[in-house]
Structure 1
């Protein structure tokens, strides 16, 4: 892992595998270690650029306050610094999906495919904003330890700590690595201030997969279907894992199968899997 200069300061970027480039950007609250259960499989067909986003993963503090649009610029900086001018396959989880949507819309020639895993498109509802603000105050007062379990439940599902303690620890440890002031900055800029991205979807030319699960209350199947219908060239796939980060940790084989098929033949994958759920496997056994 190396420190890569960007407009928001240096970021840790790890390179793995061989083949055409794929940029992986993680969810808010965690870091690139949450790709651990899928990265080796994905690296068999791509050179993975695993980015630790601003304010996460032990990165130096950002040089200024920032927005999602600034994160798009950071991705440009990473690719330029690494000398990558060919289109990349973008794989984003939650926050990473939001950045990917804006990146694909702004730079269609630099984005070959876009997969946004567990990335709600609308802005937070008033009730969700209240919950986030309450947790932010608690985090400010007492730090990461008291809310770590609650965060794991939200990101992986309420049964994850008992059913998959190693996966829960992976998420909890990633959260603890960030500095408190940086995380508070990120929550304000990237969650509370996140715009409604619905209008952006119709402008994307890139082949696009959106995913959610039936047990993700912040990204319901109904809302995800509505969003997917706005895509010019995309589909929705349902994955059987709770929470935004759940597919990476609780259903890694299914997610890797989906992503590698999409990278191999985007058009065929959109036609085959669009709107359908992967079935027949217990995500709790895939680790």
Structure 2
């Protein structure tokens, strides 16, 4: 059965953001990875919506959110999420679920707005900045994307987010990522890449300040998220825990191990339901 869902455009400092709403219960915000959109949560929505009212945000330049034509920061994204809460009358603290980029935003949201965040879950979210060699390579790709659009980079992005040879080993997941990458505002996505990928900050100094219960998950075969660093990041948090889940890219756990990921999140929520 397809889950009933409504949507709204919410004005924020980063322009209008598309927010889809479904489920029942205490509120939870879901923010997706760079390159894709909130459709990548499709396989977890029905189960998570049994316990929570879900608010799925399309980040600036992605999905139905056009995004600004200027540089902005992850902190600006966290502030925009707070604006969504105000506009939609989300009164209570939220359970935050962030995939990659969404996890970065969630960390800063929990740090800046601790009373608005009950728990934090991150999936495939490196806390360290983009390594120099990768940043130089990514800068070239971002400039080429600006000139050529998404088509030449579909395979590269899909394999980065799902895993090597994804079109053969996980065709459904590869199709979901490829289609999401092609959606969204081209100029808005360029500014998101330039603002947030190339200028991704080191979030490790923030982690010891995060007081909310935090679950960090990382794909076992995710080459872009060092497992040792991910575990140390969780250990640096006063109430952090780390789990490895199946997946060869930042988005892969949501698409290829959705039942396991959903079960772990619901157990985590249950364990912290009195908070």
- Shift of residue 267, structure 1, vs aligned partner: 8.8
Matched with 1:181 is 187
- Shift of residue 65, structure 1, vs aligned partner: 3.2
Q: What TM-score, normalized by structure 1, do the two folds share?
A: 0.90
- Please give the residue correspondences for 1:75-224 in structure 2 after superposition, counting only pairs within 5 Å: 75-224=81-230
- Shift of residue 179, structure 1, vs aligned partner: 2.4
C-alpha distance after superposition, 1:207-230 (max 9, x if no partner): 001111231122111111221221
Q: How far apart, CA to CA, are the structure 2 residues paired with 1:157 and 1:64?
A: 31
Structure 1: where are the runs of 5+ without partners? Answer: 269-287
Cα 1:141–1:64, aligned 2, differ >3 Å: closer, same or farther? closer
Matched with 1:32 is 38
Q: How far apart, CA to CA, are the structure 2 residues paired with 1:93 and 1:77?
A: 20
Q: What TM-score, normalized by structure 2, do the two folds share?
A: 0.94
C-alpha distance after superposition, 1:38-84 (max 9, x if no partner): 11111111100000011111323427532111111101100001111
Q: How far apart, CA to CA, are the structure 2 residues paired with 1:76 and 1:108?
A: 11
Structure 2: where are the runs of 5+ without partners? Answer: 1-6
8 Å CA contact 2:75–2:105 kept in 1: the answer is yes
Q: How far apart, CA to CA, are the structure 2 residues paired with 1:208 and 1:178?
A: 30
* Secondary structure at the counterpart of residue 202 of structure 1: helix
Q: How far apart, CA to CA, are the structure 2 residues paired with 1:9 and 1:116?
A: 25
Matching residue within 53, 74, 79 for 1:73: 79
Alignment length, in residue pairs? 268
The question of 1:257 aligning with 2:263 is answered yes
The question of 1:226 aligning with 2:232 is answered yes
Matched with 2:252 is 246
Cα 1:203–1:39, aligned 2, differ >3 Å: closer, same or farther? same
8 Å CA contact 1:8–1:63 kept in 2: the answer is no
* Secondary structure at the counterpart of residue 171 of structure 1: helix
Cα 1:58–1:267, aligned 2, differ >3 Å: closer, same or farther? closer
The question of 1:16 aligning with 2:7 is answered no
- Runs (4+) of structure 1 exceeding 6 A deviation are none
